[in-house]
Amino acid sequence: MNPVTHAQLDWDDQGRPHSRVFDDVYFSDKSGLEETRYVFLEQNRLQARFAALPAGGRLVIGETGFGTGLNFLCAWQLFEQHAAAGAHLHFVSVEKYPLSHNDLQRALALWPELSAYAEQLLAQYIAIHQGFQRLVLANGRVTLTLLVGDALEQLPQLDAQVDAWFLDGFAPAKNPDMWTAELFAELARLAAPGSTISTFTSTGWVRRLINAAGFKMKRTPGIGHKWEILRGEFLGWPEGTLPPAKAKPWFARPAAIEGERHAMVIGGGLAGCATAASLAARGWRVSLLERHTALAQEASGNPQGVLYLKLSAHGTALSQLILSGFGHTRRLLEHLHRGIDWDGCGVLQLAFDAKEAQRQAQLAEAFAPDLLHLLDREQAQQRAGIDLAQGGLFFPQGGWVHPPALCQWQAAHPLIDVLTHHDPLELHRVNDQWQARDADRVLASARVVVLAGAAEIKRFAPSADLPLKRIRGQITRLTQTAASEALATVVCAEGYVAPARLGEHTLGASFDFTNEDLTPTATEHAGNLAMLREISEDLSQRLGAEHLAPEQLEGRAAFRCTSPDYLPIVGPLADHEAFQQAYAVLGKDARQVPDTPCPWLPGLYINSGHGSRGLITAPLCGELIAAWLTDEPLPVPASVAEACHPNRFALRALVKGKSAPGKERL
């Protein structure tokens, strides 16, 4: 992966940001707002289109060049002024050189009339890293999907239908690499029928290239120092050129669910609460079923989880998901009480052996320093506040989280009905409704159901074959001492120890692949204490660990739920037997792509298999489920969504000549 590079700015005597890379200003200090409104809002007829949106309707705007966010804020302001209360705005923008938070704040201070919107953007403009970044604004009414990186690397991975394009960026003479036929072909691929487009330039070769991509552009009078600009509409993929490849049928989007927007979510942990919250933010009514007396009673119930990124330097699907998910969760946490519900104290991963040190060095080269950087032993000790045997990799935006607090905040939406003591054992489809039943008792019913109960989803026939494995983990609670108060950051080796929350440190977690009993054991407590000594002998002494009797310690155990490839399982479910029949040819030739629609189970989705990464992956996967259900831009690259798709196991089984994906080895 390429580490993100922030915009390198100088500020002129009018207070305007000037790009050193492109030797140009981002906007006019005299007519910046007027130009944005005229070129992008008026030429795309946004006022009328916003006003025409029905309750529950959505308009998707795509933009090349987020810059200072001025176009986005102006579009948002217009949307608030003219759109119905239940409508939604989804803004997708790509930016190669994102501004730092301080630079963005300074730039947006030039526009006081946009301050109400700028303040919301700035509050969420944190943990912005490479790839897809999802920002949820205005209580879910406005969504910003920011693609950080080169446009021709990011846009081909976008799964979206864009209603209006803002073709922005530095002028063609300053930034010729952006104004290319390849870029315009991507805009055409992503354009919805009748999509509009506008840009501030009227350069003839730009107009001809955009026309060649399938748009019909025409010159129109400009504004200010711009004599002419271009606006147009998408007519369709041009004849004589190969159309873009369709999504493979097993990864294509199911047909939209018509009628009442009511979903039933089974499982009240991180995955279930996140899914419920994402749907509720889009106007869905949600019945959230939890079998226990309260939310977050199983793996999501630990007092402290770690907001920690286990990444790959090679840009794997899992690594991309983790990077996007980390930023999303980190932004959500801003809504919670810091110090009690979470703390961004940073996470230190110790370089406990040569192999780990080598891995960390590779990561430090692949990612930006504000995401992670190496610390030598002395620097690590200063950061952690305790003696350590080695340095390691530091994540300054990481920290610890109290997962139940996140679950409770997400489930507090007024459209979510939390139903505790509801333990469905069966799913039945009756007419166009899914019924969750406990024997003859119908607990709830809805057109849409999302299975989010970790490995418990295997109790239901449609998901019984999915290869999910439960792994027991136990944490140990240690009372804070006067000496242990010095611990200033989460420290990890094979396990982790966190600074105290409400007078207690959390230490763990063990891994047990065979024990099905969730009663905490002295053996596991002893193992956690040994793990503590490996992390830091000094901290172990500060906590008086040598005097603690494992059989007297307190803690809790829960099951992590993981898949064979360690990716979560997120997306729509298909009828297993019909799937096998529809795509049986893959068993003979894996290169075949039959023109056969996938036999989806209407309205049935899954969000599970998050393992020990649920804090980072589950909330973003809630957004992914919502995007599937509402036909909006996906919050992750298409390749990542496919890598997480439930159908991947059935496909692999077919190719290998097997019939049951659940029989794959874990």
* 392 domain-assigned: yes
Q: Residue 24: is its pLDDT beyond 90?
A: no
Say how far apart CA 108 and CA 118 lie, in whole Å: 7
Q: Are residues 450 and 557 in the same domain?
A: no
Q: Are residues 360 and 419 in the same domain?
A: no
- Whether residue 199 contacts residue 213, with contact meaning beta carbons closer than 8 Å, is answered with no
CA proximity to 457, closest of 648, 252, 291: 291
- Whether residue 130 contacts residue 2, with contact meaning beta carbons closer than 8 Å, is answered with yes
> Residues 351-360: pLDDT tens digits?
999 999 999 9
For the chain, the farthest-separated pair of C-alpha atoms sits apart, in whole angstroms, at: 81
Q: Are residues 463 and 479 in the same domain?
A: no
| Residue ending a domain, choose from 492, 526, 561 | 561
* Mean pLDDT to the nearest integer, 75-97: 97
- Whether residue 535 contacts residue 491, with contact meaning beta carbons closer than 8 Å, is answered with yes
User: Percent of the chain, pLDDT > 70?
Assistant: 96
Q: Residue 571: is its pLDDT beyond 70?
A: yes
Q: Are residues 108 and 30 in the same domain?
A: yes
Q: Order of strands across the sheet with 162-167?
A: 131-137, 142-148, 88-95, 58-64, 162-167, 191-199, 228-234, 215-221
CB atoms within 10 A of CB 33: 18
Identify the residue with better confidence: 257 or 94: 94
| Residue ending a domain, choose from 561, 596, 613 | 561
How is 33-55 classified by DSSP, letter by letter?
HHHHIIIIIITTTHHHHHHTPPT
Q: Are residues 268 and 381 in the same domain?
A: no
Report how far apart, in Å, the C-alpha atoms of 566 and of each of 271, 317, 643, 663 are: 16, 11, 10, 16
CB atoms within 10 A of CB 459: 16
* Mean pLDDT to the nearest integer, 493-514: 94
- Tokens 């505790």 correspond to what residue? 420
Q: Are residues 268 and 150 in the same domain?
A: no
* Mean pLDDT to the nearest integer, 204-208: 89
* Mean pLDDT to the nearest integer, 318-323: 96
Report how far apart, in Å, the C-alpha atoms of 491 and of each of 254, 348, 400, 494, 525 are: 44, 5, 10, 10, 18
> Residues 133-189: pLDDT tens digits?
999 999 999 999 999 999 999 999 999 999 999 998 767 777 777 889 999 999 999
Mean pLDDT of the chain: 93
Q: What is the pLDDT of residue 9?
A: 75
| Residue ending a domain, choose from 561, 589, 617 | 561
Confidence class of residue 205 from pLDDT cuts 50, 70 and 90? confident
Q: Are residues 168 and 134 in the same domain?
A: yes
Q: Residue 29: is its pLDDT beyond 80?
A: no
Q: What is the CATH number of the domain that holds 500?
A: 3.30.9.10
Helix (H, G, I), strand (E, B) or coil at 139: helix
- The C-alpha torsion from 79 through 83 and 86 to 88, rounded to 10°, is -40
Q: Are residues 288 and 371 in the same domain?
A: no
Question: What domain count does the chain have?
Answer: 3
* 514 domain-assigned: yes
* Mean pLDDT to the nearest integer, 68-90: 97
DSSP bridge pairs for 352? none
Confidence class of residue 658 from pLDDT cuts 50, 70 and 90? low
Q: What is the pLDDT of residue 239?
A: 85
Q: Residue 258: is its pLDDT beyond 90?
A: no
> What are 319's two structure tokens?
């690594």
Q: Are residues 634 and 500 in the same domain?
A: no
Q: What is the CATH number of the domain that holds 609?
A: 3.50.50.60
Q: What is the CATH number of the domain that holds 34?
A: 3.40.50.150
> What are 245's two structure tokens?
């490849």
23-32, 433-442, 569-578, 597-606 — which is least confidently predicted? Answer: 23-32
> What are 77's two structure tokens?
């302001």
Q: What is the pLDDT of residue 227?
A: 79
266: left (phi over 0), alpha (psi -120 to 50) or beta: beta
* 454 domain-assigned: yes
196-205, 315-324, 481-490, 557-566 — which is least confidently predicted? Answer: 196-205
Say how far apart CA 67 and CA 472 lie, in whole Å: 46
Q: Order of strands across the sheet with 469-479?
A: 373-375, 392-395, 347-350, 490-492, 496-497, 504-508, 469-479, 554-562
CA proximity to 469, closest of 516, 422, 424, 518: 516
Total residue count of the chain as it appears in this document: 666
Q: Are residues 52 and 109 in the same domain?
A: yes
CA proximity to 481, closest of 396, 594, 386, 364: 386
Fill in the DSSP letter of residue 214: T
Q: What is the pLDDT of residue 664?
A: 42
Q: Residue 54: is its pLDDT beyond 90?
A: yes
Q: Are residues 82 and 215 in the same domain?
A: yes
- The C-alpha torsion from 391 through 393 and 395 to 398, rounded to 10°, is -80
* Mean pLDDT to the nearest integer, 403-422: 97
Q: What is the pLDDT of residue 7?
A: 76
Report how far apart, in Å, the C-alpha atoms of 629 and of each of 87, 218, 230, 247, 284 are: 16, 36, 35, 17, 10
* Mean pLDDT to the nearest integer, 497-506: 97
- Whether residue 610 contacts residue 617, with contact meaning beta carbons closer than 8 Å, is answered with yes
User: Percent of the chain, pLDDT > 90?
Assistant: 82
Say how far apart CA 576 and CA 582 lie, in whole Å: 10
Say how far apart CA 288 and CA 424 lie, in whole Å: 12
Q: Residue 28: is its pLDDT beyond 70?
A: no
Strand extents, DSSP E, 174-300? 191-199, 215-221, 228-234, 262-266, 285-289
- Whether residue 149 contacts residue 66, with contact meaning beta carbons closer than 8 Å, is answered with no
* 51 domain-assigned: yes
Say how far apart CA 455 and CA 469 lie, in whole Å: 7
* Mean pLDDT to the nearest integer, 390-419: 98
* 327 domain-assigned: no
Helices (H), ranges, 451-536: 522-535
* 277 domain-assigned: yes
Q: Residue 388: is its pLDDT beyond 70?
A: yes
Report how far apart, in Å, the C-alpha atoms of 588 and of each of 23, 266, 372, 583, 585 are: 57, 38, 46, 10, 5
* 13 domain-assigned: no
Report how far apart, in Å, the C-alpha atoms of 657 and of each of 72, 249, 579, 585, 647 are: 50, 20, 14, 10, 15
Q: Are residues 549 and 618 in the same domain?
A: no
Q: Which domain holds residue 542?
A: 337-396+469-561
Q: What is the pLDDT of residue 592?
A: 87
Q: Which amino acid is at 161?
A: Q
41-45, 139-143, 220-224, 362-366 — which is least confidently predicted? Answer: 220-224
How is 606-656 classified by DSSP, letter by letter?
EEE--GGGHHHHHHHHHHHHHHHHHT---SS-HHHHHHT-THHHHHHHHHT
> Residues 463-484: pLDDT tens digits?
999 999 999 999 999 999 999 9
* 165 domain-assigned: yes
